[in-house]
Amino acid sequence: MVIEEKKVVLVHYTLTEGNAEGEKIESTEGREPLGFIYGVGMMIPDFESNIKGLKTGDKFAFGIKAADAYGEYDEKALVEVPKSMFEMDGKIPDGLLEVGRSIPLTDQEGNRFQGTVAWVGLEKVKLDFNHPMAGVDLYFTGHVELVRDADPAELEHGHVHGAGGHHH
């Protein structure tokens, strides 16, 4: 069975920065494989296009440019906000505004998103709304652990159940 639309795919992979010799970003080594339903928008489109047609046991190695992965780093996504907006009962919770910390936020329309603390001043905080991997060229190596048909419940829920996927 080959990887194509609406197939469950389990892969073991190592993700490095830029090329095969780049700094390791993450790996499934020693853990469960990554499981997803091919073609339903769960993965970076270029990741899917690079594994289309592979079968169980096939190996892969490919790069994805930042622009085709999580986008280029955008300086306009750095925003200064008043430090006071983080106050609860008149004070800022300890440890909340630490550089590098990801903070869940909600806009006036109720949309949720993440901002990363980039800088903390006396009265202002600079938040970075770029994806943490923005501006990073990705390189994947790995192998296909399994390809199978997605069952109706998986297609309805939009994710893999069982090994490598979601456990209900």
Residues 30 and 59 reside in one and the same domain: yes
Gap between the Cα atoms of 96 and 85, Å rounded: 12
CB 165 within 8 A of CB 34: no
Q: What pTM value is reported for the model?
A: 0.83
Residues 66 and 22 reside in one and the same domain: yes
Residues 16 and 87 reside in one and the same domain: no
Gap between the Cα atoms of 35 and 54, Å rounded: 15
pLDDT tops 90 at residue 146 = yes
pLDDT tops 60 at residue 136 = yes
Gap between the Cα atoms of 24 and 13, Å rounded: 11
Q: What is the mean pLDDT of the chain?
A: 94
Beta strands (DSSP E) in 6-123 are 7-17, 24-27, 34-37, 59-64, 78-82, 102-106, 112-120
Residues 48 and 24 reside in one and the same domain: yes
Residues 64 and 145 reside in one and the same domain: yes
The angle formed by the CA atoms of residues 144, 163 and 38, to the nearest 5 degrees, is 50
pLDDT value of position 166 = 56
Residues 28 and 56 reside in one and the same domain: yes
107: in domain: yes
pLDDT value of position 117 = 97
pLDDT value of position 108 = 87
**Domain membership of residue 146 as a residue range:** 7-70+133-157
Q: Give the strands of the sheet with 112-120, arranged side by side.
A: 78-82, 124-128, 112-120, 102-106
Residues 31 and 48 reside in one and the same domain: yes
